[in-house]
Structure 1
Amino acid sequence: MRKRAAGDTRLLWLLLDANRWLVTTLLSAVLFCGLLAVGLLHPEPAMTLLTRGDPVETLFQALITGTVTAVTLVLTLNQLVLSQELGAVGDQRERMDGAMQFRADVADAVDTAVSPAAPSAFLRSLVRGTSERAKNTQNAVDETALDDDLTALLSNYLEDVRTNADSVTDQLEGGTFGEFDVVKAALNYNYSWKLYAGRRIREAYADELTDEIDDSLAELVETLELFGPAREHFKTLYFQWELSDLSRTLLYVAIPALTVAITSLLFLDVQDFVGVTAGVPDALWFLAVTTTASLLPFTVLISYILRIVTITKRTLAIGPFILRETNRSVDVDWE
């Protein structure tokens, strides 16, 4: 996935891989340093600015209102997550039948009696299944006298499938659902291009492929088709898991943030901070610390939403739709 990223991979690491509390800390640090920098660089002294009218009181009143609104947002998020689980018994039975049928289809595709139950093992069996199908197809190609260009095309395509599949299989080994590792490994498998290329090769060279090679390619394409809905299903479950964590975390930090904002509004006066520490007015230290603490629910919210929207942007399409640059080992495009 990082090789296919158009931007800085360090930014991608921050958006996806980094611990959400680390991202929250970085966002809070940017806010804190920004407040200090503006207060120090402003031509008017910080004490003059903070005592002209009642900007501090107005600020904390707005922060209290915003924090209460954030708690309301938590309830909305919880309702969103719960709405996916609530339903009549008929609806639940239909969901169960669909899940069991899909598991049976995957079991048939990967030649096993029962498909794995753990998400990481389930995806790993599918990815490993594509690697095995690609290996079977390569064996059929090696045993058949084909045109040199077609042989090279098939070999490059199948080698790319096996290499990517083996890498993702290793990444999925021991993955625990609820952590980002499972979803990240699934994102690293660019099945869309492999599905598109496989279908294109079968269509373009239908007259030149033997029945054995065509059947093997068809099995590979069918297995790739199963990976798409499996990835989307576990991505949806991960989003529900992540939103639940976000809701709980927001509730945890809302009370301390409200305490800081209310205490600063009712019991602290900026005019009491008249000293200077480390070259920075104490009033400015007070404002930066209390504002950053009061905005903690929002920095937590931003840190979680950044990962969710990044994953969503990278997985907008399902199936052989390619919305961004990707690693194309073979060229099978034509007008």
Structure 2
Amino acid sequence: MSENPDQGADVDADPDVDTEIDADAEADIGTANTMQARSSESRIKLWAVLKAERLLITGLLALVFFLSFVVIGELFVPNFESTLRTDEMINYMFSTMISAIITGTTLVVTISQLVISQENGPLGEQRERMSNTMDFREYTEEMIGSPSPADPSAFLRETVSLTERRAKLLRASIADNDDEQLKAEVDEYTESLIGNAEEVRDQLEGASFGSFGVLNAALNYNYGIKIFHLERIANDHADSLTDENMGHLDDLKSSLSMFGPAREHVKTLYFEWALIDLSQLILYVSVPALLVSGTMLGFYSGLSFPNTTFGINDSILIVGAAFTVTLLPFFLLISYILRVATVAKRTLAIGPLILRESAR
């Protein structure tokens, strides 16, 4: 069988393809300074799943559920009030919730034990963890020229500041280069990096670990795409770059690469912190939820609520409120897992791997 010689041709042999690739590579060197600006998702969604306080989201979920329960029962279900007054319906609703609360609480305690078990281990493992931590801190001290801060927000702030300083050194070293395209790309690249670094550093200022502020600021610094563009500039302009230029490129790449494991470490600590908080809060709200369920099972059938409030029968309001209280552990679980899962999805890859379509 004869082979078509064109089938093995390199795509680089086509000048039109070259032009298109170069144009795409040079586009969007500068990226937005916040995760929200880089995302195609709505501001309200990002606020709800990431930025808002988890207890506030829990309260909003409970409020929406209660109002929906009341509206559906009052407007869309005939004889709903009389159905709620039967012992069968109350027994079915709240006996089921008692089982669900006990099962869910047990499951959450198990998750908490798994998180805590990550911190337990024999002496050898603990010594290795300590050794790795100190090695990274010593490496950081060499790069920033001062002792590594102990506070997570201050540590990330120093790391970001280091990338900003090295970006300025790179821009200054390229200023005398004869390659105008190289200078234009480096100017755009460093301007974007410095602007992003300044905004993230301001967000980290005063942020305390335990709140989402530290991790949120770290997520706003898109170091991965910065490493990619830096590698592309070094590859595309290898003939124009001097040894001094390459040294500054490598220094900046090293500082950006250091931010990756630092952010992942802070993210891991935050996940453990958040899951332990979730376990404690669910244990706290499970007691009143069980109390309300038991009260409805034991006493509701003997009570009479002939009155209305705002035109709505009191039976619907009382059962709706009690049922909402029994669901508080579940609403807490939703609010916390939404944030943890969203952050985990956005940080699946470490380094210059872009998984989201909107960022490519």
TM-score over 0.5 for the pair: yes
CA distance in 2, matches of 1:278, 1:167: 49
Letter in 2 for 1:243: L
Cα offset, 1:145, TM superposition: 2.7
- 1:333 is matched with none
Which residue of 56, 60, 66 corresponds with 2:90?
56
Letter in 2 for 1:314: R
State which structure, 1 or 2, has the greater radius of gyration over its C-alpha atoms: 2
How many pairs align?
326
Give yes or no for contact 2:153–2:207 (8 Å, CA) kept in 1: yes
Identity of aligned residues (%): 45
Letter in 1 for 2:174: V
Cα offset, 1:276, TM superposition: 2.2
Aligned to 2:37, what secondary structure does the other structure show?
coil
CA distances 1:92-126 after superposition (whole Å, capped 9, x unpaired): 000001011111111122222x2111111111111
- 1:319 is matched with 351
Gaps of 5+ in 2: 1-34
CA distance in 1, matches of 2:91, 2:255: 62
Change in 2 beyond 3 A, CA 1:131/1:326: farther
Change in 2 beyond 3 A, CA 1:288/1:141: same
Cα offset, 1:274, TM superposition: 2.9
Cα offset, 1:286, TM superposition: 1.5
CA distance in 2, matches of 1:26, 1:146: 59
The answer to whether 1:156 aligns with 2:191 is no
The answer to whether 1:193 aligns with 2:225 is yes
CA distance in 2, matches of 1:53, 1:288: 16
CA distance in 2, matches of 1:167, 1:304: 26
Which residue of 103, 112, 120 corresponds with 2:153?
120
CA distance in 2, matches of 1:132, 1:66: 55
Give yes or no for contact 2:87–2:301 (8 Å, CA) kept in 1: no
Give yes or no for contact 1:271–1:283 (8 Å, CA) kept in 2: no
Deviates more, 1:221-230 or 1:10-19: 10-19
Cα offset, 1:275, TM superposition: 2.7
Cα offset, 1:52, TM superposition: 6.0
Change in 2 beyond 3 A, CA 1:266/1:43: closer
- 1:45 is matched with 79
- 2:54 is matched with 20
The answer to whether 1:177 aligns with 2:209 is yes
Letter in 2 for 1:107: E
Deviates more, 1:278-287 or 1:133-142: 278-287
CA distance in 1, matches of 2:112, 2:179: 59
CA distance in 1, matches of 2:287, 2:359: 47
CA distances 1:161-220 after superposition (whole Å, capped 9, x unpaired): 111111111111122111111001000101010011111111221111111111101000
Gaps of 5+ in 1: 329-335
